[in-house]
A and B are shown apart, each in its own frame.
Chain A
Amino acid sequence: MSDDIRSLTARLVDEPSSLAFLELGEALRRRGQLDSAYKVAQGGLTRYPRLAEAHDLMARILGDQGDLAGAFDAWVEALRLDPMRTSALKGIAFLYFRAGNVEEARQHLQRAAEIDPDDRSIPQALARMPSSVSTSVPRAAEEPVAGAPTAPGPEAVEQQGSLLVDGNGLRLSGQLRSPNNEDVGDRVAAELAGVSKEASRTTRLLGLGTWQAIAVESPEGNLFLVPPTSNTVLLTVRDPSLPMARLGMIAERAARDARSWLGEQE
């Protein structure tokens, strides 16, 4: 453990209500200790749910963990609490850029530049953007924007997606692209209805109770399936470099969101 992390930890232990969690969480994130960073940030958010800086920290950690949807939500919350927060604007711009929405990315960066004209990283990021609006996933999206989470390799960009599928194999939400950037969401959704039924039958007949999850490793990506409700299945796909246990955490979190969303639709 480095000295700064040791002293910040000691400070937080001595004074749990201090804002030292912000520095400690960021220090842990920078060292790649993402699980510890997440716990520290979560603890801080529990104590200070209206602190924009805490949501900003959480967004960076989630981004590094590969939970880009979670990072987006956290930055939106940071911005809601502090509309002048340029780091949140830059983070959201980064995520839009990675998703291929250059126009939204540009607008967020321009807003950040108006708020903080002295931040030289913003015009630099704007200059790297293609001049025309594109709706496809640009390879240049790997260019990081200052303040955004560490960008993983190109494969990770391609091998990310989530699908929420109903019991009949129809897509309720989400999208999935193949390594060749084809939209394969409907094709995979159709297979998943059968997978859910097979899994349910297998665990029941083998005395393993109710099925909770299926983790699938493939050379091109890891898949994680969870049933948010009895008649839906949620698939989360990530690059194989993301450890399966962490992918499971991301999937469980997505399943909670899916349950809320499904409840709102009823």
Chain B
Amino acid sequence: MSHANNALERVTQVPGVRGSLVISAGDGLVVAERLMDGIDGRAIAALAGSLIQRLGRATLGAGMRIPTFVHLRGDQGSVLAAPGRNDLVLVALTGLNANLGLARVEMLDAVSHLS
């Protein structure tokens, strides 16, 4: 199993996670995905990739390094993102009752193994 698939496997096992994918932030393309039926990975990749890039510019503007973890919370669920090396970002989509703390820990650990 590749590093990307291994990372997705770990993250999707967290309660409340509806799917996860590895994207290339620069072009918003899906590298690997593990999503529940009906969830469009390409849309997540495009939207999350664009948001991560903009947040990166904001943090750089504030004199800080690029984000290590991002959590976008909506009133129906969340998008979690852990940027890694080579422009890769591990992204997860969660429901309202997800274990966000566990998802964060798993994602940070998993993304460190992506290359």
Q: Which residues of A contact B65 (CB under 8 A)?
A: 218-220
Chain B interface category by residue count = 20 to 34
Among candidates B44, B62, B76, B78, residue contacting A221 with C-beta atoms closer than 8 Å: B62
Evaluate contact between B79 and A202: CB separation under 8 angstroms. Answer: yes
Q: Which residues of B contact A206 (CB under 8 A)?
A: 43-44, 47, 74, 77, 79, 93
Q: How many A-B residue pairs have CB under 8 A?
A: 116
Evaluate contact between A178 and B47: CB separation under 8 angstroms. Answer: no
State whether the Cβ of B70 lies closer than 8 Å to any Cβ in chain A.
yes
Please count how many residues in chain A sit with their CB below 8 Å of the partner chain's CB atoms: 38
State whether the Cβ of A188 lies closer than 8 Å to any Cβ in chain B.
yes
State whether the Cβ of B102 lies closer than 8 Å to any Cβ in chain A.
no
Evaluate contact between A188 and B61: CB separation under 8 angstroms. Answer: yes
Q: Which residues of B contact A223 (CB under 8 A)?
A: 58-59, 62
Evaluate contact between A203 and B72: CB separation under 8 angstroms. Answer: yes
Evaluate contact between A176 and B62: CB separation under 8 angstroms. Answer: yes
State whether the Cβ of B37 lies closer than 8 Å to any Cβ in chain A.
no
Chain B positions 67-111 with a Cβ under 8 Å from a chain A Cβ: 67-79, 93
Alpha-carbon separation in the docked complex, A182 to B61 (Å): 11
Q: Mark B27-51, 1 if CB is under 8 A from A, else 0.
A: 0000000000000000110011011
State whether the Cβ of A152 lies closer than 8 Å to any Cβ in chain B.
no
State whether the Cβ of A214 lies closer than 8 Å to any Cβ in chain B.
yes
Among candidates A176, A194, A201, residue contacting B47 with C-beta atoms closer than 8 Å: A201
Among candidates B62, B71, B72, B73, residue contacting A178 with C-beta atoms closer than 8 Å: B62
Q: Which residues of B contact A192 (CB under 8 A)?
A: 58
Q: Which residues of A contact B54 (CB under 8 A)?
A: 191, 194-195, 198
| Given A205-B43, A208-B76, A212-B73: A195 touches B67 (CB 8 Å cut-off) | no
Alpha-carbon separation in the docked complex, A7 to B63 (Å): 48
Evaluate contact between B61 and A211: CB separation under 8 angstroms. Answer: no
Q: Which residues of A contact B64 (CB under 8 A)?
A: 178-179, 218-221
Alpha-carbon separation in the docked complex, A208 to B39 (Å): 12
Most buried by B among A198, A205, A221: A198
Alpha-carbon separation in the docked complex, A207 to B19 (Å): 14
Q: Mark A44-75, 1 if CB is under 8 A from B, else 0.
A: 00000000000000000000000000000000
Alpha-carbon separation in the docked complex, A209 to B48 (Å): 15
Q: Which residues of A contact B78 (CB under 8 A)?
A: 208
Q: Which residues of A contact B50 (CB under 8 A)?
A: 198
Among candidates B61, B72, B77, residue contacting A214 with C-beta atoms closer than 8 Å: B72
Q: Which residues of B contact A212 (CB under 8 A)?
A: 73-75
Residues of B within 8 A of A (CB): 43-44, 47-48, 50-51, 54-55, 57-59, 61-79, 93
7 A-B pairs with C-beta separation under 8 A: A180-B63, A203-B74, A206-B93, A208-B74, A218-B68, A220-B64, A223-B58
